[in-house]
Amino acid sequence: MKILRLGFLVALASGFTVILIYITGLSTHYDNYQLSDEDWEALQSLQSDFQKCVSANGLGLQAISGKDYCQVTLTYPSDTDSKWRDPNTGELEGLSFVFNLCEAVATWEQVRNSTTILTREFIDALPNGWEEYAWRRINKGVLLNHCKNKALCMEKLSLVLPETPPYVPRQFGRCAVIGNSGDLLKTRFGKEIDSYDVVLRENGAPIENYTEYVGKKSSFRLLNRGSAKALDKIVELDETRQEVLIIKTTIHDIMSQMIREIPISNPVYLMLDASFGSAAKGTGLKALEFALSVCDSVDMYGFTVDPGYKEWTRYFSESRKGHTPLHGRAYYQMMECLGLIKIHSPMRSDANRVVKWVPSRSTIRAARIASEKWLRRVGAGSEDLLASCSIIKKQVKRKYMSVSRLRKAAVDHQKFVKGTTMYPVEHSSGHGQLCTVPVD
Ligand SMILES: *[C@@H]1O[C@H](CO)[C@@H](O)[C@H](O)[C@H]1NC(C)=O
Ligand SMILES: *[C@@H]1O[C@H](CO)[C@@H](O)[C@H](O)[C@H]1NC(C)=O
């Protein structure tokens, strides 16, 4: 009996040892990823402020925490009339959407310090960038045989490929992103929109005849493939011909030809195609992504975000097939309650509306660090600036933008990152970045 009991104790003890070794082994390996008490508290405060923010600003939306500290479900009132049907399944769009707050806060905070414009230094620094990446940004990419003929690829991209990023984080102060929703015609936002430092529009959105509603100013225009092929018509929409055109897909031969032959003098760039957030595919979210990477604050107008509005019209044309409108609206509400954007719409038309309960910058910062650890992102929780860089390239910065011309916030950020440029790398495990570091 005694022996048995001893055996049992030994077995217990050795089991314990095994577990101990296992835990220590793990913890030395994943030390950076272990969440401290402060980290858990940060995630808790984020959830709690976030839920209050959604109830206070979401026009009927409610946020409920999910199975862990990161998950949140945004739910519409049960009497919401869902009208959009999935063309594949024929099912009506649901009234609840699950989002991952940790993923959103980690990813979107990273966007604020990244460049989202494709540059030559990026392709050069990407291992096999010219063979494995560049051809995908050219319309007839496949036929280019993975850019085996690098000279041909370079020539095709040359019109839209700056050497280094044309913009830096926080270069602009207050920015407005204007969608194309028909509900823009319900409020005269024109003057208010013109008061922003930078105005970003989308695709074929006209200005003439609508200035009362959409303003006159236009600094950037984000284009999908269809619009990019009609570049000659697009440039006519802005009288000043100074709009910077940003293409979210590929460079097309028709487009290159127009740039050369018409010629089109507006700057044209391609956006990096690393996609942020699960829903960040549509032009609207891409436009917000670009704006967040160059602006201090981002306000949005002309996105269909009010309950009951589901006419899916554009302000300048008849109905157009929308998609997953409730999902989109919930996602934008999440962005507002993470302090990323401010929504303006007919039902939220007071320019001075305060977004109540939006988590403070310090809560967001702490929650971002905790989220990086939770998600095991490269460099999570590290003080080292370059810790999140999975690829580092030393670069002689040629004719780098004269720092004296930049706003103070942008200069401060450049000092903080010591001139480093950060590019998100698509499909990189742990969301590592490609960083170019100036050599001194
Ligand atoms: C503005 O209205 C005028 C007169 O109706 C029309 O000729 C012109 O094409 C319109 N412009 C745009 C951009 O819709
Ligand atoms: C972004 O840069 C700011 C300094 O401008 C810094 O405080 C912040 O921690 C950075 N965020 C990330 C995600 O690295």
Per-residue pLDDT of the chain (440 residues; tens, 9 = 90+): 444 444 444 444 444 434 443 443 344 445 678 999 999 999 999 999 999 999 999 999 999 998 899 999 999 999 998 888 888 899 999 999 999 999 999 999 999 999 999 999 999 999 889 888 898 888 877 677 788 888 888 888 999 999 999 999 999 999 999 999 999 999 999 999 999 999 999 999 999 999 999 999 999 999 988 899 899 999 999 988 899 999 998 888 888 898 988 899 999 999 997 655 544 467 889 999 999 999 999 999 999 888 877 677 889 987 666 678 889 899 999 999 999 999 999 999 999 999 999 999 999 999 999 999 999 999 998 889 899 999 999 988 655 556 668 999 999 999 999 999 999 987 777 888 999 999 87
Closest residue to atom 3 of ligand 2, CA basis: 413
Task: Give residue limits of the domains in the chain.
Answer: 2-33, 110-119+162-438
208 lines ligand 1 (CB under 6 A): yes
Ligand 2 pocket check: which of 276, 416, 418, 420 to mutate, most ligand atoms within 8 Å of Cβ?
416
Q: Please report the pLDDT score of residue 170 as a whole number.
A: 97
Closest residue to atom 6 of ligand 1, CA basis: 209
CA of residue 147 relative to chain centroid, distance:
28
Q: Please report the pLDDT score of residue 14 as a whole number.
A: 42
Quick one: which ligand is closest to 206's CA? Answer: 1
291 burial class (0-12, 13-18, 19+ CB within 10 angstroms)? Answer: buried
Q: How many helices (H) and strands (E) does the chain have?
A: 14, 15
- Distance from the alpha carbon of residue 361 to the mean position of ligand 2, in angstroms: 11
113 lines ligand 2 (CB under 6 A): yes
Contact 169, 294 (CB under 8 A): yes
CA-CA distance, 341 to 363, in Å (whole number)?
16
| Rounded alpha-carbon distances, angstroms, from residue 220 to 177, 189, 199, 238 | 9, 18, 6, 10
| Largest separation between any pair of C-alpha atoms in the chain | 97
- Distance from the alpha carbon of residue 252 to the mean position of ligand 1, in angstroms: 29
Quick one: which ligand is closest to 210's CA? Answer: 1
Give the residue among 105, 150, 170 at the shortest CA–CA distance from 375.
105
161 burial class (0-12, 13-18, 19+ CB within 10 angstroms)? Answer: buried
Looking from the CA of residue 209, the nearest atom of ligand 1 is: 1
- Distance from the alpha carbon of residue 203 to the mean position of ligand 1, in angstroms: 17
Q: Please report the pLDDT score of residue 403 as a whole number.
A: 65
What DSSP state is assigned to residue 263? T
pTM, entire model: 0.90
Closest residue to atom 13 of ligand 2, CA basis: 110
- Distance from the alpha carbon of residue 205 to the mean position of ligand 1, in angstroms: 13
Q: Please report the pLDDT score of residue 354 as a whole number.
A: 96
CB atoms within 10 A of CB 22: 10
Contact 258, 251 (CB under 8 A): no
| Rounded alpha-carbon distances, angstroms, from residue 91 to 76, 86, 155, 188, 299 | 17, 5, 46, 36, 33
Closest residue to atom 4 of ligand 1, CA basis: 209
Closest residue to atom 12 of ligand 1, CA basis: 208
Architecture in CATH of 110-119+162-438? Alpha-Beta Complex (3.90)
413 lines ligand 2 (CB under 6 A): yes
Looking from the CA of residue 208, the nearest atom of ligand 1 is: 13
Q: Please report the pLDDT score of residue 320 as a whole number.
A: 67
| Coil, helix or strand at residue 204 | coil
